Amino acid sequence: MEIIATFLQVLAQTLEIYSLVLIVRVLLSWFPNLDWSNPVLSTVSSITDPYLNSFRGIIPPIGGLDLSAILAFIALSLMQRLLFSASIAFLSGTNGYFG
């Protein structure tokens, strides 16, 4: 069970790193004159845009502001919390399946 708990913790930490990359992407979107052909910027964009695009269909831009990132952060945070909670449950053995 420790292996599963460790795996879940690694996934949660990976999502935390992804959240940081997502914050960088959102902050960079505030600068319209950036050259997105830059390898670093295009990599950040290629990593984060597919995830953000899935929420852009739910919340359209309002007055030129893309608010879909807020929902994307909420979903990512929820997933992180679920993974950490599940890992703690596996470590403590309090879940109903393996206790």
For position 19, what pLDDT does the model report?
A: 95
Taking the C-alpha atoms of residue 85 and residue 8, their distance in angstroms, rounded to an integer, is 9
Strand-pairing partners, residue 62, are: 65
pLDDT exceeds 50 at position 53: yes
Q: Quote the mean pLDDT of the chain.
A: 88
pLDDT at residue 21, rounded to an integer: 95
Lowest mean pLDDT among 14-18, 31-35, 38-42, 89-93: 89-93
| DSSP classification of residue 62 | B
Q: Kindly report the pTM of this predicted structure.
A: 0.81
Write down the residue that tokens 């997502």 correspond to.
Answer: 22
